[in-house]
Chain A
Amino acid sequence: MSALLDIEDLEVTFGRTAAVRGASLRVEKGETHCLVGESGCGKSVTALAMMNLLARGGHRSARRMTFAGIDLLSLPDRAMARIRGNRMSMIFQEPMTSLNPAYTVGSQMAEVLTRHKGASRAAALDRAVELMGRVGITAPQMRLGQFPHQLSGGLRQRVMIAMALMCDPELLVADEPTTALDVTVQAQILRLLASLKREFGLSILLITHDLGIVARVADRVSVMYAGEVVERAPAAELFRAPQHPYTRGLLSCVPVPGRVRRDRPLGSIPGTVPAIAPGFAGCAFRSRCAHAIEVCEHDIPRRPAGGAHDYLCQLLPRERAEPQPA
């Protein structure tokens, strides 16, 4: 079965800076796929490149990039606009500023349906009310006439989600949808996404840096580092047996009740994501990796780790036998 979204060797550059360097990503139908990594590792840029929403000056290329069998690379802008908001939609990290302050919630939601499905305004507003109810917005009829500044951050993100669902998309890209919200609202939004996935058969590409979220919602995980996908695995498998030193480092940074020993410091990864100069070769993590050796400066093979699990590392598991992560 072919994947709903299949990206192979995506490269995104802004001038001479490479933001994404050969990232490969497959999102299957009906799965929640988490794209994980530190700030600046290229998660959002990967999603924006796929949606053809890169900011000015961004340039993308890839060996393959298909969505439901459609080649996104050769698709003209107008045809892509017909897919965006319709068959794939996106919600963002900034619920406070992502809605247009000058128009009512109803008008902004309705225009998606009138644009893509040729629906009448009245039908579109009915659909907006229905979806607002589905995403847990109280008094949806009243919300139609309200402006974004009259809603809280959690409500605005729900409006964004409802708006993204207007045309029954196959894929929802959620870029850190809960980062700007407080913890209780965060939990509500995550539960909502999980139930929408079940109800609508939606595939979700969830971008996050929060491994707690990954553990709760992900079916599969891709870990990104410095513009590359360094490890891909089913979620349970990734948490059980992380292979890449970066993934292991990330996991050691998260306290797990019952497993963390209070007398040992919580793990951390020294340093920050390096800027990658053009012509860089080898493993981008080697400057922060405790096991780096000379071979890490050469091209790194993708190693299988059983089933759908693989990772980018030169070292064999026994070569990086390390002290038990704290």
Chain B
Amino acid sequence: MLRLIVRRLALGVLVAFTVMTLAFMLTRLSGDLAISIAGPQATAADVEIVRKAYGLDRPLYVQFFTWVGRAAVGDFGQSYFFKDSVASLIARRMPITLTLGLVGLSLALIISIPLGILAAIRENTWLDRAVTMFTMVGQAVPSFWLALILMIVLGLHLGVLPISGTGTWQHFVMPGIVLAFTAIPALTRLTRSGMIEAMASDYIRTARAKGLSRARIIFKHALRNAAIPVVSIAAVQLGFMLGGSIVIETVFALHGVGYLGWESIAKNDFPVVQAVVLVLAAIYIGLTLLADILNALLDPRLRAG
């Protein structure tokens, strides 16, 4: 078990380094930084001053390792646009994104796991078909559309939830629902297929031959084995929710990390872009590791590493 964690951690560091290299190279490739920082009115002399001031005249590998070395101790430099340190910018936005992601994932799991189990144990009945239909529709609905519909119904007509901003916990309900909907179809289908496979297995036949109660067969013996792919995908989905919720953060005016990343790309604020990419990569790595550990706890065969 410890071996597994150490190996996955080493792998994670390697992935993080690769992502850093890519993020650094891509931002450099997208044009001359000094020109975009100096602005459209700048003269050639101004650009040179900017280039020197930001250290952009040094060789690329020096710039890269300087950045890597500082990032390793949590110093991501200064934002060109916000006139603030990148670290504190991200630290300020992170709680919003984390809250939203966790609300979204919790809602998704609360809805999709029972739904998947129900569909599996009622396989090929109207209920199963209704669940399949629901997941297909859920997959097809664009999140901005669902967001707008919720705003109109719950916000304007019923007036039960605030439409935008981050003031209270109620502000996170609607975006949480919309975000949950991006994960519910996949998680429901995975739970359903995992449960169907488990329920048809030899060890479930044994559990029935032992005379165990139906609840114990479903929740103890089948669900634990069916949960493994669900855990893996839920981790990826949470990573996606934390990094890719730009549309939802924009629609609901939630100024989270996704929105920050999008803003800084638009404004050529490269230190922020690089840092956001790195933080999101680190989150993905952490979540994948967490999923591996959870799965090893669920299935002893995975503990060998």
Binding site for B on A (CB under 8 A): 51, 53, 55-56, 80-86, 89-90, 92, 94, 97-103, 111-112, 115-116, 147, 149, 160, 163
Given known contacts A81-B211, A99-B203, A112-B211, what 14 new A-B pairs fall within 8 Å (CB)? A53-B209, A56-B123, A84-B210, A85-B212, A92-B206, A92-B209, A97-B203, A98-B203, A101-B299, A102-B298, A103-B221, A111-B210, A112-B210, A115-B213
Q: Which residues of A lie under 8 Å from residue B209 when comparing CB positions? A: 51, 53, 84-85, 89-90, 92
The tally of CB-CB contacts under 8 A between chains A and B is 75
In the complex, A289→B225 CA distance in Å?
48
A100 close to B300 (CB less than 8 A): no
Q: Which residues of B lie under 8 Å from residue A94 when comparing CB positions? A: 202
Given the interface pairs A149-B300, A163-B210, the reply to whether A102 lies near B202 with Cβ below 8 Å is no
A115 close to B225 (CB less than 8 A): no
In the complex, A163→B210 CA distance in Å?
9
Chain A residue, CB-CB nearest to B228: A102
0 or 1 for each of B45-70: is its CB under 8 Å from A? (1 = yes): 00000000000000000000000000
| A–B complex contacts, Cβ < 8 Å, 22 sampled | A53-B205, A56-B123, A80-B211, A81-B213, A81-B214, A82-B211, A83-B211, A84-B210, A85-B210, A86-B211, A92-B205, A92-B206, A97-B201, A99-B203, A100-B221, A101-B299, A102-B225, A102-B300, A112-B210, A115-B210, A115-B211, A160-B206
Q: Which residues of A lie under 8 Å from residue B201 when comparing CB positions? A: 97
| Closest CB in chain B relative to A119 CB, distance in Å | 14
Chain A residue, CB-CB nearest to B124: A56
Q: Which residues of B lie under 8 Å from residue A100 when comparing CB positions? A: 203, 206-207, 221, 225
Chain B residue, CB-CB nearest to A87: B211
A98 close to B205 (CB less than 8 A): yes
In the complex, A253→B123 CA distance in Å?
44
- Does B171 have its Cβ within 8 Å of any Cβ on chain A? no
B211 close to A98 (CB less than 8 A): no
Q: Which residues of B lie under 8 Å from residue A160 when comparing CB positions? A: 206
- Does B301 have its Cβ within 8 Å of any Cβ on chain A? yes
In the complex, A51→B207 CA distance in Å?
13
B225 close to A101 (CB less than 8 A): yes
Chain A residue, CB-CB nearest to B200: A55
0 or 1 for each of B215-251: is its CB under 8 Å from A? (1 = yes): 0100001001100000000000000000000000000
Chain A residue, CB-CB nearest to B204: A100
Chain A residue, CB-CB nearest to B217: A81
B210 close to A101 (CB less than 8 A): no
Chain B residue, CB-CB nearest to A160: B206
In the complex, A100→B298 CA distance in Å?
12
Q: Which residues of A lie under 8 Å from residue B206 when comparing CB positions? A: 92, 98-100, 160
Most B Cβ at <10 Å: residue of A89, A101, A102, A115: A102
In the complex, A151→B131 CA distance in Å?
40
In the complex, A149→B302 CA distance in Å?
11
0 or 1 for each of B192-206: is its CB under 8 Å from A? (1 = yes): 000000001111011
